[in-house]
Structure 1
Amino acid sequence: MPRALSTLTLSDAKQMLQAAEAKAAKLGIPYNIAVVDAGGALIAFARQDGALEGSIDLAIGKAKTARMFNKTTEYLAELAQPGAPLFGIEQSNDGRVVIFGGGLPVTIDDQIVGAVGASAGSVEQDIAVAEAAASAIMTNPT
């Protein structure tokens, strides 16, 4: 029986980037923001003028990590602490797992359709920018 796959579209990603960029502007910090589809492939990326170069790969990595594991990167960071059940997870997938807060899965009607990652500020600011992006299109957020 064939299954239908729902995923973010380019239009969704542009809407998400616009919301994230607005949040970043309110924070006064230039951001890197990445949006990936249901398969974890990059749909859209924005690097605001002056955003840290070192945060480019982190934003993309956060989005991909959130989609790979269907968890926020903030939650994965908790699970990856010494003595926690996923200690060392950041070494998996050829070391491409990013466990700093700021990556989160995106759901529509309770189905994960992609993910977003944001990087440039503090962990709390990164989470706020990612949440602004996701809330631009999410329904029934978990």
Structure 2
Amino acid sequence: MKKTTINVLVVIALFSGIMFTSCLKSKNEVTPAPKITGTFDGTLKKLKKNMTSGKFDTVFKFGFAVRMKADSGFTATSDSTLHSNSHGKFANDYSYIQFDDATYASSSTKLFLHGVYIYSFDGTRLQFLASKGDTVAYFYDLKKISN
């Protein structure tokens, strides 16, 4: 009888402990991805892999700017005729940013902010990279100049 009572009390204590701890607030709350807003100015570089050295060489470099607002999208301007001045929507998570350029034309030879890019943003510096295969990459290196 004594042994049965002790076992029942142990089970009740364990069950109560499990129920109590399941009601506690968890510290595993997800932090939202950073909001990328403001006007950014810098450069765009086309990089091509040198098959001899294995390093990437700069094919061209020119000025590039983009204004980004989460509610109204982006507007991109360039110093070059190689990149389209354009606008559209964007969305980002922790590692990737996706641009949906409203002026994108697949038949155009110009560059557009369209598709998925890997990015880095520290609150001031915004860098994103798109690659075509393993030999060509487009690297945007921008700094925040205003909100």
**What is the TM-score when the length of structure 2 is the normalising length?**
0.33
Using CA pairs below 8 Å that are at least 6 residues apart, which structure has the higher relative contact order? 1
Would you tell me which structure has more helix in proportion to its own residues? Answer: 1
Structure (1 or 2) with the larger CA radius of gyration: 2
**What is the TM-score when the length of structure 1 is the normalising length?**
0.34
